[in-house]
């Protein structure tokens, strides 16, 4: 006997994903606060960045495996599908600025959660996942924030840039603060 399919609207899907995204924001803020309170600011920040790097690398590797299964290589144009299409942000759009494709993400559910909780400094550490997931996909590239709420902007503007040999070495090392890679220089 065939099961009847239930259809839901795009708005309902977005609302359901937004709930999950808010929970991820609360989870990150909670474990980050517990780590910093237990270990202190410097050691706690290092441990949080270590966890975010591993999470990002695993995400990037998963995206790479999916690209390979489609017969694609790990060049940046094949990096797709690491976030749900609906519910994580209010709006996504791609624009070209100075010949570079940039992703504009407005209304981040994670950032709203961290603002509400008063944890934007610890929340910001999570944003390093964008660098880590791209480097997990292909260490020759990183995705950086040229604009972001943690920089005082009203949106995130993300761009993919090549990494240097030094950046790849620092990212690969376990005891180096690699968060500097998310700079627009």
User: Looking at residue 141, which CATH number applies to its domain?
Assistant: 3.30.1380
- The reported pLDDT for the residue numbered 72 is 97
Tracing tokens 């797709």 back to the chain, one arrives at 80
Can you give the pLDDT at residue 166?
95
**Is there a domain that residue 167 lies in?**
yes
Return per-residue pLDDT of the chain as tens, 185 residues: 567 888 999 999 999 999 999 999 999 999 999 999 999 999 999 999 999 999 999 999 999 999 999 999 999 999 998 889 899 999 999 999 889 999 999 999 999 999 999 999 999 999 999 999 999 999 999 999 999 999 999 999 999 999 999 999 999 997 788 999 998 76
User: What distance in Å separates the CA atoms of residue 29 and residue 170, rounded to the nearest whole number?
Assistant: 26
Residue 185 is predicted with a pLDDT of 66
Domain of 128, in residue numbers: 10-181
Number of domains in the chain: 1
Residue 174: predicted pLDDT: 79
Q: What are phi and psi of 140, to 5 degrees?
A: -80, 0
pLDDT given for residue 1 in this prediction? 58
Whole-Å CA distances, 143 to 12, 31, 34, 35, 168: 30, 25, 28, 26, 13
- 176 in any annotated domain: yes
* Gap between the Cα atoms of 91 and 85, Å rounded: 10
Q: Is residue 1 part of a domain?
A: no
C-alpha of 153 from chain center: 17
Q: What is the per-residue pLDDT for 3?
A: 77
């Amino acid at each position: 006997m065939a099961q009847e399919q239930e259809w839901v609207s795009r708005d309902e899907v977005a609302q359901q994903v937004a709930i999950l995204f808010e929970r991820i924001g609360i989870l990150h803020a909670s474990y980050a606060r517990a780590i910093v309170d237990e270990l202190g600011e410097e050691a706690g920040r290092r441990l949080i960045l270590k966890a975010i790097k591993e999470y990002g690398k695993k995400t990037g590797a998963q995206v790479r495996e999916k690209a390979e299964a489609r017969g694609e290589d790990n060049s940046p144009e094949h990096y797709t599908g690491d976030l749900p299409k609906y519910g994580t942000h209010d709006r996504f759009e791609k624009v070209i600025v100075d010949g570079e494709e940039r992703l504009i993400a407005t209304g981040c559910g994670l950032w709203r959660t961290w603002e509400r909780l008063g944890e934007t400094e610890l929340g910001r550490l999570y944003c390093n996942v964008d660098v880590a997931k791209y480097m997990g996909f292909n260490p020759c590239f990183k995705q950086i924030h040229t604009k972001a709420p943690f920089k005082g902007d009203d949106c995130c503007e993300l761009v993919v840039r090549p990494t240097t040999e030094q950046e790849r070495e620092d990212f690969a090392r376990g005891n180096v603060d690699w968060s500097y890679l998310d700079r627009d220089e």
